[in-house]
Each structure stands twice: as structure tokens, then as C-alpha cells.
Structure 1
Amino acid sequence: MKLKAALPLLAAALLLPSCSAGGNTGNPVELVFWTTTSESESLFFRQMITEFENTHPNIRVTLLEKALSSAGNEYKNAILGGQSIDVLRADNTWIPEYADLDIIMPLDRLAADRELSRFVPTALSAVTYQGQVYGLPSVMEVPALMYNKALLKEAGYDNPPQTMDELKTMAQALSGPDRYGLYVTEDSYFALPFVWAFGGDTVTADRKIEISSAASQMAFAFMRELRTEGASQPYAGFDGWYDTMMHDFGVGKAAMVINGPWAVADLLKTKEFADPNNLGVAPVPKGPAGQGSPIGGHSLVINRYSEHPKESYELISFLTSEEVQARQSLSLRTLPTRSDVYEDPRLASEYLLQSFKEPLSLARSQPMIPESSKLYRDFTKNLNAMLLGRESPREGAQRIEAAWKSILKLE
């Protein structure tokens, strides 16, 4: 049975218990909250939930930790199976599909316009599908150019590269027997700033595939040149690429990387960045036709068939409030999703947090289509082949396009 077809029957079934529960109004409402957070983030959430329960004695919350890699499908299966779930911390790329399947609740009737207006516009756009808001943004993520200030200064550079040409020139100058300029990854998420810089695109909102355009192919050719013309890491492949990139950057072997705010806490534990002032953060350089990095993140959504939508909204509103966002940022070094938090005096002196404001101002949304989360597998596989020279930019881009036509059912 298809999920969307089965959901009306599930909704009818879920209404039955609530009709017979009218005499239990004195009992606390029990909410089930699935989270995809790391260990430290889950600990923070538990502390905040305790505070929430203290101020909402009629609500009790059970927090269940789920692996991010499998939670997306697990949630869909759980809803079909009638499991009691009220709130989910969802990757933003899941939201269009969930909204299309009608398994998350639009918040327009629960959330006041005034409250929604306090969120960063790009964060709010990432949870908006076909004109309706489906979640409250909890964490924002945006890739930026991170650089070792001391290494750049040693090579004669006082500022990070501003253009793609400067990026290549500086990375070449920073490369030598014991060091290289820039780590270039096979992960297609981190390729989007290059694609957009050269005027390319992935899939438009009206489902037009742009990945094989001449502009997109120019971006892939440029990324390949970084590898072949002495600007990037000397390794033959990409096995364990993220750990390798983080290690090399942390010990001074890589002068620049493209990474997100989630990496800051770990980088500050390394030799090179024991002094936080040595870690530079700047937008990924602009190209001949544009600039921007993909806005990513995680948001709190409500099960469309929750028996407790009002209480669920009270929970997610509390967890994304100005005070909780500020404390979350200070504790976990995450980027706040609310505009007012950036003006909080406690965060004003947070150099690294403030450094991400410019990359955020240039951020772009990923395709808001139900299949969005499914596009990266074929993109990454063929990007790997292009960077290693097994496919030309034209061949790789056309193979990605062919795979996406199948996923989007355009053939």
C-alpha cells in the first residue's frame, strides 16, 4: 500500500482513542519527540526539555534519539505503522517530501506571523513548501571558506581569496612538499558553491534540470583543475575524506577547506586553532556568474496525525525561542535561526559566530521539491569520477542528468 493512500485511514484510526479519552483531562499530555542530534546536542535538548516541563506541568516529553542516516525513512514507516510520534527534528531536505506525503503539519494556523517573522528569511524559506510553513528552524548550516590565517600571512596574503581565480592562485602558492592549499571534496553538497559561482544550477523549482548546462560543466572543469594544477590535496582518492580534511586542516597541512559551522568546535581542539583567532571564516569566493552556498540545517516539525498538535507546537516554539537559541549557540557553537539572537549581547563577542553572518547573507536554498534529498547520491558518485579524471565534465554532468530524469520521472 502506498504511504499517501494509507494515511487517511490512519488519520481516522488515530481519532478513535481521542474520543474516549475525554475523562482523562487531569493527566499530563505525553509527547514523543524523535531527535537526530549528536550526543552533545541531545544532552542540551534534554536540559531544555526539563526546563520546558517545569514551566509546562501538564506536558511530559519522551526524547528518543535516532540516527540521522536512517531517520528519514524510519519516520515515514513509523507513521504508516501508526506509531505515536509528535515531534521530529528533520533535515530540511526531507520537508518537501514529507509535506507532499501529508505526514507533517503545516504550522500556519498554530504560528503567529509575528513569531515567524523573527526567523532569518533563508532559514524560514527552507521550511516553506508551496506557500506553507512546515517547521520551526532549529539550526542553520552554510558551508564557508575556512582558512589558516597564519599560513596565509606567511605566504604574503592578508585576506582570503575573493574570486575563484584568486582561490586557485592562492591555493597553488600555498602548496608545497609538506602542505597544500585547498582540500577539494567529492561530496556534491560542497560542490554547489562552485556550480552557482559559474552560473550553473541543479534543479529549478519547476523541475527543470540544469546540472548538465555549459555553466555547470565549467564549474566541474574548474574543480578538476584545482586537483590537476597543484592547488589541492595530493591524495589519489577520497577514502575517509572528511576525517582526512579535518586532520590536515587541524595540523596545518591544509591551508584552506570548505566546511560548515558544525566543524568549529572540533577545530578549536586542534593544534593550529588552539587560538581561535587563527581560524578565518569567509564566504566561498565568487565566480564569473555568481556566489552563494547552500543553506542547510534542521528544523522541528509536527506529525500531521499527532493527537496533541497544540502541545507539540508549545514544545517546538520553546526550543526555538530567542533564549534557547542563544544558549544553544553559546553551548554548541551552532548558528541561530532567529534574527534577534544575532543582536544578543552574549553573542556579540563571538567572533566565529559573527564570521558566518556574511556567508549566511549569500546563502541559497536547495531545490524545494519532494525528491530533493534523493539527488545527491548520483551527483556525488559522478563528481568523484569527474574529479579523478574517469569522466569528463560533459560525461559526468550528462550521467547525473540522466539519473535525475529517472528520479523526477521526467522520461
Structure 2
Amino acid sequence: MKGLLYLSLIILIATILPLVGCNGSSEEVFKGYQLPPEREEGTTVELVIHETYTDEEHQVFQTIVDMFNEDNPDITVKVERIPKGAQWSRLTQALATKETPDIARVEMEYIATLADRGTILPMELFWAEDHKETLVEGAILSNTYNKRVWGIPDQIYTSALFYNVRLLEESGSDIPDSNWSWEDLMQLARKVSDRNPDVIGLSYGSSLWELSPYMGSYGATIYNSENKRIEIDSPEVVKALNLLYGYQLDVEGWTGSPIQSFINKDAAMVILDSNSIPKIEDSGIRFGVTKLPHGPAGSVSNIDGTSMVIFKDTEHPREAYEFLKFLTSSKIQALWADELGQLPVNKDSFKNVDVNKHPYLEIFMEQVSNVIPKPALPNYSQMEELFNMEMQKVFKGEKRLEHVLMDITSELNGETQKD
């Protein structure tokens, strides 16, 4: 077998192999589940929701919950805060004891795992088409497993290009804009480093999340849902990453923490997500943000975030969906964006966001319209961990790119490479 991975990786992969092609429990839930009878007029309902927001986010969320409760006197939503680090252990315990809440906020990477275990309900049981069509498409696709949507996104983020205005001006360089290609950007990055060897023109990481925009702009997909195959070794992925690897050989732009390189003024440009804005603003750097450069498939970014799921054992699934519909409505999402400076998940709210208060949101709202979805796969986090570990070795010069991509893809798909 070519490119045999280390024993430790084989052990890790053994936990991932069920990742491709699992669909039993999720399909059984959809086919076998019957919605409970609609409640009688005049009766009241109490819903419990587990959430993991920060203190600032929680205050805004509680305001939204209070608004819903006031508008719907027959439904009372109660909020239980869960420490973010304890989320999965609490969920596992709740599932084991069959004491799940009605709704829970979870990381998108857990969606497929929960669906595959048959513990959450697909949104197809409830969808109002006029609701679904208003939500950011990439976020919906990131919640889609076995052709059904299992969560409603409540918080999303995507990446764009940040640049240090002073460092670019000192190198006599142009300010990048949305018309640039990746080749244009690499040329600019080389120019910056040539003029000032102490400055990295473009700093980048090696994680699957960080490299997804390069892949997506070349038309790559990480997972092909039709043939249920991970395609990290596709020609599009190889071409995209070879462009970056060629730059690495010339300039060595790879760093363990691109955001820290940017804050330390060691890097002139960096690709960061929308959640990075407060930290960059606090650094005092004079910076700008623009859309990512384009490849053959256009300017494509990544997407991630959290979603709200409805548990199968809830006695009030319709009311749970009504709350999520309210939470992700245009009015409420504009409120969320204005108060927190975060991307709304409802496209109709974009025009109502106060971009004077949060000027950089305009770029991210435009960028999020074209993203490479995060694959909804059981044990996605283990797949990402394997990819990240191996790609670090590529950028350190320890392994060849094509061999690593073939090895990872082969192992994740349960294939055997032959000499």
C-alpha cells in the first residue's frame, strides 16, 4: 500500500470509517416518525432550550425569547445555559437518560452524528418554503445529511481577506479588491516580502477550514453526496493547493496562527472569518477587508457556525419549529446583527442591517452568498483532525502534497491503494 500512514493515524481512521455511507437511523426517523396530534385550543406549552452563547450573545438571545413569549402567550420558552466546553457531554448524558431538551444549539459538525443516531427531527416535517428560501443557502447545505435538513442555522461565519493598509503602502503595493485572482494576490504577496523580508505577504494556516476557500474557488467539493465519497484528492483540490504550496516554497507564508501573525504586524494579508473583526479592531491596526480573490469558480469562501435542532422526544415539535422560525426571521436576524455585529442567517435581513454601525458586515454578507458548504458527516471532527495533521507536514516540507491527499482520501473512503 502506497503512502502508509503512521499507526496512530490508522487508529484514528478506524473511528472514521463509518463516516461515509451511514444512513440507517436518520432514514428510519423520517419514515417512522409521526407528529403528535395538534394541541387543543386554549392549552399552553412549555419549551426548554439549551444554548451555549457568550454572555453578550445570551443577553440578546434572552431578549428575543422574551419577545417570542410575549407574542405567543400560549407558548413559554425557557432557556438553560450550557458551558460551551460541556455541550457534547451534556447532550450525551441527556440522550442516554432520555431527558433531552426540546431544542438545543449545537455546532454544525454534530448535526450528522445526531441525525445518524436517530435523535433529532428533519426540518422537512415542518418547513414553510417561504422560510427555508430566506436562509443562507450554504448554511442550509451544511445542515443537510442524506438529502434532508436536520438543523436550522442560528449563527454563521465566513471568511474574507484582511489587509494591513500601512504594510501595503510601505511596500508600494496596490490595495487588493474583489476583482483580483489568486494569482494576482500571490504576486502581490511576493512583492511585499521582496520589499520587506521581515513581513509575510500572505499568512495562512493548513486546516481544512482555512484551505476550503482555495479549494472552493477552483470548483472543488470536499464531499460528493451523490456517490457518498470524500474527494479531497480531486484535480481541483490538487490545483488549488499546489498554487498555495508553490507560494510556500518561495516565501514560507504558512504559520500556526495567521491571526496572531496579522495582529503582530508580521503579515500584510490574511484570510480570517467574520468573528475575528473585534479582535482585529482591538489591535489598533489600520486594516481593510475585501472579498476573497476569484478562481475558475469565482470568489468562494468557507462557512461554519451553530444550528438549532429539535429532538425526537419533544412533545411539542410544531411549537419548537415556530420558535426557530421566529428566531431566524428577517426582523430578528437584523436585530441580532445590529446588536452583535454578526452575520445574520436570513438573507432578507441583509438590507436592514446597519452597515454604518458595522461597516465590515457588508463584505461578509456579500461573501457568504458563495461558499463551499461544510460537509455534514458523522465524525466530521475526526476527519478534519486527520487532514489538519497531515497538511501541516506538507507545508513543513515533510511530505508531498499529492501523496498526502491520496492517502487521506483513500483511508477515509475505506479504499485500498494498490501498487
Same structural fold, with TM-score higher than 0.5 when normalized by the shorter chain: yes
1:117 and 1:199, CA in 2 relative to 1: closer, same or farther beyond 3 A?
closer
How many angstroms apart in 1 are the aligned matches of 2:386 and 2:85?
17
How many angstroms apart in 1 are the aligned matches of 2:338 and 2:398?
45
- What is the 5 A alignment of 1:315-394? 315-344=323-352, 346-347=354-355, 350-394=358-402
Could you tell me which amino acid in structure 1 is paired with residue 290 of structure 2?
V
How many angstroms apart in 1 are the aligned matches of 2:127 and 2:235?
43
Q: TM-score, normalised by structure 2?
A: 0.80
1:68 and 1:167, CA in 2 relative to 1: closer, same or farther beyond 3 A?
farther
Which residue of structure 2 aligns with residue 204 of structure 1?
224
8 Å contact 1:198–1:216 — kept in the other structure? Answer: yes
How many angstroms apart in 2 are the aligned matches of 1:207 and 1:345?
38
1:61 to partner: Cα distance: 3.4
From 26, 42, 63, the counterpart of 2:79: 63
From 194, 215, 220, the counterpart of 1:195: 215
1:258 to partner: Cα distance: 1.0
Q: Deviations over 1:224-264 (max 9, x none)?
A: 3333312626x6xx2xx2xxx33332343321111111111
Could you tell me which amino acid in structure 2 is paired with residue 99 of structure 1?
A
Could you tell me which amino acid in structure 2 is paired with residue 313 of structure 1?
Y
Could you tell me which amino acid in structure 2 is paired with residue 269 of structure 1?
D
Which residue of structure 2 aligns with residue 149 of structure 1?
165
1:347 to partner: Cα distance: 4.0
1:172 aligns with 2:190: yes
How many angstroms apart in 2 are the aligned matches of 1:169 and 1:316?
46
Which residue of structure 2 aligns with residue 313 of structure 1?
321
Which residue of structure 2 aligns with residue 247 of structure 1?
260
Which residue of structure 1 aligns with residue 106 of structure 2?
90
Could you tell me which amino acid in structure 2 is paired with residue 100 of structure 1?
D
How many angstroms apart in 1 are the aligned matches of 2:367 and 2:115?
28
Number of aligned residue pairs: 385
1:259 aligns with 2:267: no
How many angstroms apart in 1 are the aligned matches of 2:100 and 2:252?
52
- Deviating 4+ runs (over 4 angstroms): 67-70, 288-291, 408-411
Which residue of structure 2 aligns with residue 110 of structure 1?
126
8 Å contact 2:220–2:237 — kept in the other structure? Answer: yes
Could you tell me which amino acid in structure 2 is paired with residue 188 of structure 1?
L
How many angstroms apart in 2 are the aligned matches of 1:248 and 1:173?
18
1:287 aligns with 2:295: yes
1:342 to partner: Cα distance: 0.9
8 Å contact 2:157–2:275 — kept in the other structure? Answer: yes
8 Å contact 1:36–1:89 — kept in the other structure? Answer: yes
1:354 to partner: Cα distance: 0.8
* 2:228 alignment partner, SS class: coil
Q: Deviations over 1:108-156 (max 9, x none)?
A: 3433222222223333333334443333221222222222234334433
Could you tell me which amino acid in structure 1 is paired with residue 62 of structure 2?
R
CA RMSD of aligned residues (A): 3.5
Unpaired runs of 5+ residues, structure 1, are: none
How many angstroms apart in 1 are the aligned matches of 2:71 and 2:417?
51
Could you tell me which amino acid in structure 2 is paired with residue 261 of structure 1?
S
Which residue of structure 2 aligns with residue 163 of structure 1?
181
From 136, 139, 159, the counterpart of 1:123: 139
1:183 aligns with 2:203: yes
How many angstroms apart in 2 are the aligned matches of 1:110 and 1:208?
29
8 Å contact 1:141–1:262 — kept in the other structure? Answer: yes
From 30, 37, 52, the counterpart of 2:68: 52
1:378 to partner: Cα distance: 0.7
* 1:269 alignment partner, SS class: helix
1:48 and 1:345, CA in 2 relative to 1: closer, same or farther beyond 3 A?
closer
1:381 to partner: Cα distance: 0.7
1:349 to partner: Cα distance: 6.5
* 1:143 alignment partner, SS class: strand
Q: Which has the higher contact order (CA 8 A, sep 6+)?
A: 2
Which residue of structure 1 aligns with residue 240 of structure 2?
219
1:35 to partner: Cα distance: 1.7
1:106 and 1:289, CA in 2 relative to 1: closer, same or farther beyond 3 A?
closer
1:222 to partner: Cα distance: 3.1
1:318 and 1:107, CA in 2 relative to 1: closer, same or farther beyond 3 A?
same
Q: Deviations over 1:4-38 (max 9, x none)?
A: 87xx99xx9xx9xx99xx99x86x63322122323
